Structure 1
Amino acid sequence: MINRSKYSQLIKSEAQRLGFLSCGISKVQFLEKEAPRLENWLKNNSHGQMSYMENHFDKRLNPALLVDGAKSVISLLLNYYPSEFQKEESYKISKYAYGQDYHFVIKEKLKALLFSIEEQIGAVSGRAFVDSAPVLDKAWAAKSGLGWIGKNSNLITQKVGSFYFIAELIVDLELEYDAPTTDHCGTCTACLDACPTQAIIAPYQVDGSKCISYYTIELKDNLPEEMKGKFQDWAFGCDVCQDVCPWNRFSKAHNEPLFNPNSEILSFSKKDWEEITAETFQKVFKDSPLKRTKFEGLLRNIQFLK
């Protein structure tokens, strides 16, 4: 007899031990509500040049196509809110990029969690996902009660806001499932009002192709001239819609040493950024998410901001 409650508790305790902020579990099923939303988002070209978003449409909506015999989605949050920040007068990078690339950090934790599940429960077939496969992370995290998807399309929780990564294990194990939480955005429109490029086109609707994060990370072409002067010194990513969210008053500093910032990043002035060499870039951002945009991309962004 499968003891779903006991197994679920065991998984959540283990997730906590590994440093995850929280863990929620939902039943594998076709994401019926998300299907038309995703279809419209793609139809409106809100993904811009992120053509990979068009791939594996069915898999994005049904985890059973990703893992044979999948029964449960174990969603996990990992805090990245820093205790120290960049200098005021500097080109800005998203807080999630202060430390080491989260893909590697989280992947190791997920492997350890899966190993622990197999050790204590027995043979379990499953896969770990961190932003690297067609999984609708936020939808699954919301389904398992870890938060609600806010007007800025980020997952938000009342206790700690939204500065965390979302990852999941999809397993062929039946577990006890959590219930979704309620939306607590209320009448607040802080994120819509503050978005420098009006990428949040309506509550709960983000045009990804207008987002500063898209322009500074995903876009490979020249940055559009009509956006000149709108980036508010963001050179990699953008945190504006999170920074203004009232729930992020409750953000607490993470305790993951690998996310601690390189001291040079925090002390860089605008001049330091403007004069950065390929050698310095390689040294300072060796294991950083900034490698995604490459040295040339970072230079392009900084030139655009000057």
Structure 2
Amino acid sequence: MKTKEHTQLIKAEAKRLGFLSCGISKAEFLEEEAPRLEKWLNQNMHGEMQYMENHFDKRLDPTKLVEGSRSVISLLLNYFPSEEQNSDSYKISKYAYGMDYHFVIKDKLKDLLHFIQEEIGEVHGRAFVDSAPVLDKAWAAKSGLGWIGKHSNLLTQQVGSFYFVAELIVDLALEYDTPVTNHCGTCTACIDACPTEAIVEPYKVDGSKCISYLTIELKNEIPNEFQGKLDEWMFGCDVCQDVCPWNRFSKSHSEPLFNPNPELLSFTKKDWEEITEDVFKKVFKKSAVKRTKFSGLKQNIEFLRKKK
């Protein structure tokens, strides 16, 4: 059996491609996640994200996404920046500082799959970067890359949580990793700090109250009940990660494509309030911020300006 050799080969190549870490688990139905996901959806905690209700079975069973799949290869890619925004600025989540992660990671995943096919032989698989019904964090935890924290993000002792999670689902049998233990303990820093009280209980986030949802996913106007509670965030939110003690171990990424446009770091609130569509296109060229469009960002800024 060459499973051990193949596994070592894949992990070494993942490291060479710049991934923070790589863990592997057996492609099978996620039994523990099924009732949790069903309950969360039934409680309408996904807000207007109707797509979360689709493909329930596929979210829980990778063999329905990739025929004959045997392994889920989970990968982490660091995005923690070396510099942050001007202190007098409306805030953007750190993951959106540079080029849209979908492009960056998809290319790396394609390179990894190509390497597997070149070195091992006829292997079929698909790359996933939160663009299909895959429970990324659940697979990463199952693959031993970290544990799910009380804020529902993946946490790792060595580097915290400022990284992207992605997968390759392949029809190749490999050596499987085992989950790590939870190290949140009695800490409730993320729950206490959430400006909109979206973390309704440990390990359970009401998505419809989350600032990331309100400033990115929500297509209608932000409800008035959140007036004065967005903590100056105009795109996404990092509060629950910023206060997490494990993120004191975060180290700056080494991916040039994640480096921000200098204007993004230097802009003040006044600059954001006066931003034109041309400047928006320049500052956020190939950025994840384009998801909210110029009109959406302006709407978020206006909402922040109106705070009581």
TM-score by length of 2: 0.99
- Where in structure 2 are the equivalents of 1:27-176 lying within 5 Å? 27-176=26-175
Cα deviation for residue 172 of structure 1 reads 0.1
- Cα displacement (A) at 1:161: 0.1
User: Hey, what's the Cα distance between the residues in 2 that align with 1:28 and 1:185?
Assistant: 27
Q: What letter matches 1:92 in structure 2? A: K
SS at 2:221's partner residue?
A: coil
Using the alignment, how far apart are the partners of 1:203 and 1:109 within structure 2? 34
In 1, distance between residues paired with 2:222 and 2:124? 44
Aligned position for 1:192? 191
For residues 137 and 155 of structure 1, the distance between their equivalents in structure 2, rounded to whole angstroms, comes to 9
Whether 2:202 is the aligned partner of 1:203: answer yes
Using the alignment, how far apart are the partners of 2:219 and 2:178 within structure 1? 40
Instruction: Name the CA distance, whole Å, in 2 between partners of 1:111 and 1:14.
Output: 12
- Tell me the SS of whatever aligns to 2:75: strand
Please tell me the residue identity of whatever aligns with 2:93: S
Which residue in the other structure is 2:295 paired with?
A: 296
Identity over aligned pairs, percent: 74
State the match for 2:247 in structure 1: 248
Question: Which ranges of 4 or more aligned residues in structure 1 deviate by more than 6 Å?
Answer: none
- Is 1:12 aligned to 2:11, yes or no? yes
* Paired amino acid for 1:303: E
Distance in 1 of aligned mates of 2:278 and 2:30: 46
CA distance in 2, matches of 1:34, 1:292: 28
Structure 1 residue runs without a partner (length 5+): none
CA distance in 2, matches of 1:262, 1:55: 36
How far apart, in 1, do the equivalents of 2:188 and 2:113 lie? 40
Which residue is equivalent to 2:268? Answer: 269
1:207-252 per-position Cα deviation (integer Å, ceiling 9, x unaligned) = 0010000000000111111100001100000000000000000000
What CA distance in whole angstroms lies between the structure 2 residues aligned with 1:80 and 1:244? 17
Task: Give the alignment's Cα RMSD to 1 decimal.
Answer: 0.4
Shift of 1:20: 0.1
Equivalent residue number for residue 24 of structure 2: 25
Residue 216 of structure 1 aligns with which residue?
A: 215
User: Structure 2: how far apart are the matches of 1:19 and 1:48?
Assistant: 35
Write the distance in 2 (CA, Å) between the matches of 1:245 and 1:200.
Answer: 14
TM (normalized to structure 1)? 0.99
Determine the C-alpha separation between the residues in 2 that align with 1:73 and 1:189.
31
For the residue of structure 2 that corresponds to 1:166, the secondary structure is: strand
Instruction: Quote the Cα distance in structure 2 between the aligned partners of 1:135 and 1:14.
Output: 23
Q: Equivalent residue for 1:239?
A: 238
Residue type at the aligned position of 2:37:
L
* 1:175-202 alpha-carbon deviations (Å, 9 max, x no partner): 0000000000000000000000000000
Q: Deviations over 1:21-79 (max 9, x none)?
A: 00000001100000000001100000000000000000000000000100000000000
Residue 282 of structure 1, CA deviation: 1.0
CA distance in 1, matches of 2:219, 2:111: 36
Q: Distance in 2 between matches of 1:77 and 1:161?
A: 11
What secondary structure sits across from 2:38 in the alignment?
A: helix
Q: CA deviation at 1:286?
A: 1.5
CA distance in 2, matches of 1:267, 1:87: 5
